[in-house]
Amino acid sequence: EPEVTQTPSHQVTQMGQEVILRCVPISNHLYFYWYRQILGQKVEFLVSFYNNEISEKSEIFDDQFSVERPDGSNFTLKIRSTKLEDSAMYFCASLGLASFLYNEQFFGPGTRLTVL
Amino acid sequence: DQQVKQNSPSLSVQEGRISILNCDYTNSMFDYFLWYKKYPAEGPTFLISISSIKDKNEDGRFTVFLNKSAKHLSLHIVPSQPGDSAVYFCAASVRGSQGNLIFGKGTKLSVKP
């Protein structure tokens, strides 16, 4: 069964450093998303991406964040200068045409980001 | 601002009994509602969804009920099995929002043998 994969599973970084979180969505999917979950809180939408551009972004997704689909298979989230409050679990999700009507997004296992 | 609320952080049920997980929402623009299940160290897994034009959707042991007037939905699991033990998230999608999901905080279900 096709699945969304994410690397690394855990990333530890120093405050102020740049991090890149990587995702490989399901191959025939067209819509891509990043969400995050701070420990003990709900899963929050960050950004959606379609046709090589951002479709929508939340208030959380400020200038420190960027997304890219560099090669047609990977989908990356970059945080330019990490802050302590960026520590969270980051989930990538993708959506294909077949499940678009039901908005059945497929989630990856997540990357735990720890900012020290 | 909590547009999707799951007021019960946890629920414990005996194996074979019914589990009922509840979710309330405030935004009348929501047009799809979904339930996701999450095991530790894994991402959320889609379970079942319902359109705002329906009041019930059933898939095997899982049934979701939607009461639009009360802005309330519930997930029924019958019969509950120990493997159902997980965190269940209610999520909603806003009409025309490119499918972004708005999640509740989740309910941790424990099914005891």
Please tell me the distance in Å from A86's CA to the nearest CA on chain B. Answer: 18
Going edge to edge, which strands form the sheet with B19-25?
A: B4-5, B19-25, B72-77, B62-67, B56-59
| C-alpha to C-alpha distance for B64 and B75, rounded to whole angstroms | 5
CA A99 to chain centre: 19
Give yes or no for residue A67 having a pLDDT over 80: yes
Give yes or no for residue B75 having a pLDDT over 80: yes
Residue at B4: amino acid letter: V
Give pLDDT tens digits for A19-59.
999 999 999 899 999 999 998 889 999 999 998 999 999 99
In this prediction, residues A64-79 reach a mean pLDDT of: 93
Residues of A in contact with B51 (CB under 8 A): 102
In this prediction, residues B9-23 reach a mean pLDDT of: 97
Residues of B in contact with A110 (CB under 8 A): 42-43
According to the model, what pLDDT value does residue B104 have?
A: 95
